[in-house]
Structure 1
Amino acid sequence: MSLETISILACIVIIAGIIRGFTGFGFAAVAVVGMNIFLTPQQSIPVVLGLDILCCAPLIRQAIKQGDKPTFKLLTLGSIVGIPFGLGLLLFVPSITLKLAICIAILLFSALLIMDFRVSNTDKTPVRLGFGIGAGASTAAASVGEYNYRVLHAF
């Protein structure tokens, strides 16, 4: 990889970080789409997830104190179930197909947020577990799990 490509990728990550600073989310989606111009999803998603985890690590204590424990447990359990499915997609779906799927997922989730779409019965265990599974699978496959969570809670 050339120094020019690395510089462009660094700029993409910086722009994604600025967007996250203003909105509170969206880093992974912006970074993955931008990086996928130069890399395959199999290369960009692990990098973006690693950066996202590093950036979120200092917030874990505060999130544990403020978060709803029963919802957290169900989302975590669902994510643990969903991650292997998403990883399978990441490993076995061709790069070009996965790039298209990532872009479509981001457009769909963004449209749902713009339309202020609300999921009913979010207090029900199957709904929370389902969103956890979807978030785990979509995070592992496309790094768009945060959108799944945002649609559940709609800001």
Structure 2
Amino acid sequence: MEWLQANYELTAFDTILVAATAFVAGLMRGFSGFGAALTIAPVLAVAVGPRAAIPAILFLMLATSAQLAPRAIRDVNWPTVVPLSVGGAIGILIGAWMLIVVDQELVKKSISVTVIFFAIVMLTGWRYRGSVGPLMSGFAGWLGGLISGVAAAGGPAVIIFLLAGPESAARNR
């Protein structure tokens, strides 16, 4: 904690707020299977800046997801996941580039707007009702990757797309 305070000029309150938000994000991830990045991104981006926060969040989400891979492999719907992953890989590179070149105050605001937008979409219960073929899967992956690269909040774009399909919640996670 001292390292955070020394390198980012955080007050004790800021440090406690980041730690408490990380705890809540972990609870969300544990209960729902997603949502941790969406929870912590706005707070951490304000506390340490988006250029430090977003890569740290993405690394942590990758590390926590990697331990789920061995069991999840058998449940993967490959025709959906392959284009989703290719689109996501392209989108995250563009998003990371945007994180570097776009004004940091604008990035902070975009993170907040993205989180609020997806919270409203999910609260209303809206569901995508269109095609869930490879092209749309690739686009959903690209959009999720783009948002993840710049705001670490791309999960809802992918989840909203996946909920349109016939798969179970366990398989979608």
Rounded to whole Å, the distance in 2 between the matches of 1:120 and 1:19 is 26
Task: Name 2:125's counterpart in structure 1.
Answer: 116
CA contact (8 A) 1:109 1:151 kept: no
SS of match in other structure, 1:117: coil
Rounded to whole Å, the distance in 2 between the matches of 1:136 and 1:122 is 20
Q: How many residues are treated as equivalent by the alignment?
A: 155
Task: Name 2:68's counterpart in structure 1.
Answer: 59
| Root-mean-square deviation over aligned CA pairs | 1.7
Q: 1:103-129 deviations in whole A, cap 9, x for unaligned?
A: 111111111111222223332222111
Q: 1:23 corresponds to which letter in structure 2?
A: S
Task: Name 2:84's counterpart in structure 1.
Answer: 75
Q: Which runs of 5+ in 1 are unaligned?
A: none
Q: 1:2 corresponds to which letter in structure 2?
A: Q
Report the Cα offset of residue 67 of structure 1.
1.4
Please say which structure displays the higher CA radius of gyration.
2
Is 1:89 the counterpart of 2:92 in the alignment? no
Rounded to whole Å, the distance in 2 between the matches of 1:125 and 1:51 is 28
Report the Cα offset of residue 8 of structure 1.
4.0
Task: Name 1:41's counterpart in structure 2.
Answer: 50
Task: Name 2:40's counterpart in structure 1.
Answer: 31
Task: Name 1:105's counterpart in structure 2.
Answer: 114
Identity rate, percent = 23
Q: Which runs of 5+ in 2 are unaligned?
A: 7-11, 164-168
Rounded to whole Å, the distance in 1 between the matches of 2:91 and 2:130 is 21
| TM-score, normalising length: structure 1 | 0.91
Rounded to whole Å, the distance in 2 between the matches of 1:110 and 1:124 is 25
Task: Name 2:166's counterpart in structure 1.
Answer: none
CA contact (8 A) 1:80 1:136 kept: yes
Q: 1:134 corresponds to which letter in structure 2?
A: L
Report the Cα offset of residue 83 of structure 1.
1.7
Rounded to whole Å, the distance in 2 between the matches of 1:113 and 1:78 is 22
| TM-score, normalising length: structure 2 | 0.82
Task: Name 2:159's counterpart in structure 1.
Answer: 150
